[in-house]
A = this chain, B = another copy of it.
Amino acid sequence: MKKIVTPHLLAAATVLSALLWTPTAAQQADPLPSWNAGQTKQSIVEFVAAVTTPGSAQFVPPAERIATFDNDGTLWAEQPMYFQLAFALDRLKALAPSHPEWKDTEPFKSVLAGDLNRALAGGMGPLMQIVGATHAHTTSDEFDTIVREWLATAKHPKTGRLYTEMAYQPMVELLAYLRANGFKTFIASGGGVDFMRGFAERVYGIPPEQVIGSTGEVKFELRDGKPVLLRLPALNYLDDKEGKPIAIYRQIGRRPIAAFGNSDGDLQMLQWTCAGPGARYCLFVRHTDAEREWAYDKWAMGNLEAGLKAAAGNGWTVVDMKTDWNTVYVFQKPGRN
């Protein structure tokens, strides 16, 4: 084909480019279909419009559009127990044959006897023992494989679904909507960072380097001259409460302009985010739907009491799952399974 470019064709091409780039029906469709119309949804859309409209007094350059999300109870469910704890218990059972001493040692003994309440009665101490025994003594690569294999097969005890199917569809849509508007989305969770990285990209579209979480001690070791990172059974950093804004400062180095949580463990992250200048958005997800999910403000491992007070006092948004979300999990949609 001859390459002939005349001024007329160039002009025609320019006009056509403009015509061809008119938003399609799909682009104009509601980007948050699982959110019911109402004040909550409207507040999200208005915030995004304010910070992305050039010339708006509240315009924020794309590089500064940082949004941070808690994970458990905010992006996916956390009942009847944190899914990472379910992973730890499954792994503890799998490892038990190699640890005959666990039969006589708490908290392992009670876990193996199926009495989780008794195993965890001592609080953080036994919990950290369980996490240490099940999240360490492997290399970084081995642990990643173990997590991914578990996620590919383990089922939630109530729904019988893969845990990764229990991501909140409205929040998955919100993440995508923010990214489509130039935001960079991060997780900032008390969960183990390397557990979350096993699914965050696939399920939420959040790459490993945008996942902030709790970390364990790690040792660099040369094995036959080949370096490995060995996971040790000791906590390095607990990314919860005050720890969240501090970890965000250390790892992101910019104050988010939007933050999303569901418990008092997220309160300081929201406080720090919404104390910055300019347009800010802080939101708590409130679990109000006993039928499709669970209804609670307070549970064994958390509480939203202080958060609800802070939200009321600061004008933050509170999602009422029952009324604000027309879908919780994508598998609950009519015609889906």
**Listed stretches A5-13, A92-100, A165-173, A326-334; interface member:** A5-13
Cβ of A20 < 8 Å from any Cβ of B?
yes
B253 touching A208, Cβ below 8 Å: yes
Residues of B within 8 A of A16 (CB): 5, 9-10, 12-13
**What's the Cα separation between A275 and B242 when bound, in Å?**
37
In the docked arrangement, what's the CA distance between A207 and B251, Å? Answer: 11
Cβ–Cβ contact A253 & B184, under 8 A: no
Q: Report Cα–Cα, A210/B226, bound state, in Å.
A: 27
Q: Taking the complex as formed, is A319 at the interface, i.e. its CB lies under 8 A from any CB of chain B?
A: no
Which chain B residues border A229 with CB–CB below 8 Å? 245-246, 249, 272
Q: Which residues of B contact A154 (CB under 8 A)?
A: none
Is A194 part of the binding interface, using a Cβ–Cβ cutoff of 8 Å?
A: yes
The answer on a CB contact under 8 Å between B275 and A246 is no
* Cα distance, A263 to B13, chains bound together (Å): 54
Chain A interface size, under 10 / 10 to 19 / 20 to 34 / 35 or more? 35 or more
A-B complex: 4 closest residue pairs judged by Cβ atoms: A208-B253, A220-B242, A13-B16, A209-B252
User: What residues on B are CB-neighbors of A1 within 8 Å?
Assistant: 15
A63 at the B interface (CB under 8 A): yes
Residues of chain B within 8 A of A158, CB atoms compared: none
List B contacts of A207 (CB < 8 A).
Answer: 63
Complex A-B: 30 CB contacts under 8 Å: A5-B19, A9-B16, A10-B16, A12-B12, A12-B13, A12-B16, A13-B20, A17-B17, A63-B201, A66-B209, A140-B249, A184-B209, A186-B209, A194-B253, A197-B253, A208-B252, A208-B253, A209-B253, A215-B250, A218-B249, A220-B242, A220-B245, A220-B246, A222-B271, A226-B275, A227-B268, A227-B271, A229-B245, A229-B246, A229-B272
| Contact yes or no, B218 A246, CB < 8 A | yes
A227 to B276, CA, bound (A): 9
Q: In the complex the two chains form, is B9's CB within 8 Å of A209's CB?
A: no
Verify if A176 is at the interface (C-beta below 8 Å from B).
Answer: no
How far does the alpha carbon of A297 sit from the alpha carbon of B207 in the complex, in Å?
38
